């Protein structure tokens, strides 16, 4: 049996670096993504090809291929291991194709989710949205070495067309937030800066927030429960990290109220505040992202902008009045020597079967 599934990438509108602290986050699935075709065979082998990568990945079931760290084949290894924990896998062929144009849009969660959805379907296994998200997160934790939260996998597994996805990382429950027709356009601007050392820096931030939660007596992964006043008790760096988490948690609530009230100026201002906090307190931005945000915010029709995703390179999300374009990109080239590329993004919904 052959199964073909598409999983989107995502842009996080607001709620950054709080999914592993029990916060609420507001990502949106976008029109770019990964398509995986999976077919079952009984050769006791796994074969994966990708139109975006030259070499195929191949290994016998029960063995591990020798691949360098960071190789896309680890997602295949992880997906097979997760599927094997649910059902006997006799042999699978995966064909992968992606069109995600920038980093910082969670291409890895898109790939993991598409591999799992197609693989499970080919093997006759049904997974709920949450199970699929948790399975995709296990690939990152156990096979890629990134201690990520569940935001990306949750929106990719359960997002709905035309909507953002409010995911509560404390209860692991989510709901769609329909984006009103009068909402300004959402743009992603790729900084062209590869995300250097992002995995180790990410895991380090996770350790710091865990330490801050422990120092304040919060439960593990629940720093978002702390209050602003308590944060002052923390020493230097931990105080800054916690201040970001608590402020960002509040900004998500304010952003929901802004969407509800169609208050786009307020929504844009919250994006700008979020960026400032990620830059100064959480320290996950970089010169390129700061420069892009500054240029965008000064450009006509831009209501707000901020880095999106893990940071240290990658992309910026901007709220632009309808009909306006991010015009300041030439200025970015002059300052950074890099070429930025802008894409208007829309939500086509979460993971879905593709026919043909
Ligand atoms: C990455 C992780 C997510 C989340 C973001 C930052 O995308 O995969 O779990 O922590 O960074 O908000």
Q: Is residue 17 part of a domain?
A: yes
Q: Give, using CA atoms, the residue closest to atom 1 of ligand 1.
A: 310
Q: In terms of residue numbers, what domain contains 6? A: 2-169
Is 149 close to ligand 1, i.e. is its CB under 6 Å away? yes
For the chain, the domain total comes to 2
Query: Sign of the C-alpha dihedral, residues 251, 227, 176, 151?
Result: positive
Is 221 close to ligand 1, i.e. is its CB under 6 Å away? no
Mean of per-residue pLDDT scores for the chain: 95
pLDDT digits (tens, 9 = 90+) for 72-96: 999 999 999 999 999 999 999 999 9
Ligand 1 centroid–CA 51 distance in Å is: 26
Q: Provide long-range contacts, Cβ within 8 A and 24+ apart, for 68-77.
A: 69/145, 70/144, 72/96, 72/111, 73/48, 74/139, 74/143, 74/144, 75/108, 75/111, 75/112, 75/115, 75/139, 75/143, 75/144, 76/46, 76/48, 76/115, 77/143
pLDDT digits (tens, 9 = 90+) for 114-145: 999 999 999 999 999 999 999 999 999 999 98
Q: Are residues 121 and 207 in the same domain?
A: no
Is 14 close to ligand 1, i.e. is its CB under 6 Å away? no
Ligand 1 atom closest to the Cα of residue 15 is 12
Q: Are residues 134 and 197 in the same domain?
A: no
**Pocket residue to mutate for ligand 1, from 150, 309, 316, most atoms within 8 A of Cβ:** 309
pLDDT digits (tens, 9 = 90+) for 163-186: 999 999 999 999 999 999 999 999
Ligand 1 centroid–CA 110 distance in Å is: 13
Entry pTM: 0.96
Confidence of residue 195 (pLDDT cuts 50, 70, 90): confident
Q: Is residue 174 part of a domain?
A: no
Q: Are residues 131 and 228 in the same domain?
A: no
């Amino acid at each position: 049996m052959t199964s073909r599934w598409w999983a989107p990438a995502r842009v996080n509108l607001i709620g950054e670096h709080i999914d592993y602290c029990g916060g609420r986050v507001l990502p949106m699935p976008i029109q770019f993504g990964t398509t995986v075709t999976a077919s079952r065979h009984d050769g006791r082998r796994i074969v994966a090809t990708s139109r975006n990568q030259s070499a195929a990945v191949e290994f016998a079931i029960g063995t591990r291929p020798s691949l360098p760290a960071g190789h896309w084949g680890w997602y295949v290894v992880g997906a097979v291991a997760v599927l094997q924990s649910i059902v006997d896998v006799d042999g699978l062929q995966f064909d992968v194709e992606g069109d995600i144009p920038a980093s910082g849009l969670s291409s890895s969660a898109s790939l993991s989710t598409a591999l799992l959805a197609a693989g499970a379907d080919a093997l006759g296994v049904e997974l709920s949205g949450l199970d699929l998200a948790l399975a995709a997160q296990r690939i990152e934790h156990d096979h890629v070495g990134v201690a990520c939260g569940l935001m990306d996998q949750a929106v990719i597994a359960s997002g709905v067309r035309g909507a953002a996805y409010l995911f509560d990382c404390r209860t692991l429950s989510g709901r769609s937030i329909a984006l009103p027709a009068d909402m300004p356009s959402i743009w992603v601007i790729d900084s062209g800066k590869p995300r250097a050392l992002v995995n180790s820096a990410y895991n380090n931030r996770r350790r710091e927030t865990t330490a801050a939660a422990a120092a304040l007596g919060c439960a593990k992964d629940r720093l978002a429960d702390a209050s602003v006043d308590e944060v002052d008790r923390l020493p230097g760096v931990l105080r800054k990290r916690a201040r970001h988490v608590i402020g960002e948690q509040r900004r998500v609530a304010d952003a929901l109220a802004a969407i509800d009230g169609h208050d786009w100026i307020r929504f844009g201002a919250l994006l700008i505040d979020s960026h400032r906090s990620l830059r100064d307190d959480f320290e996950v931005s970089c010169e390129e992202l700061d420069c892009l945000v500054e240029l965008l915010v000064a450009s006509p029709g831009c209501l707000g902008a901020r880095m999106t995703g893990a940071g240290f390179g990658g992309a910026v999300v901007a709220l632009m009045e309808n009909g306006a374009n991010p015009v300041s990109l030439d200025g970015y080239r002059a300052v950074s020597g890099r070429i930025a590329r802008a894409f208007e993004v829309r939500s086509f919904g979460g993971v879905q079967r593709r026919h043909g």
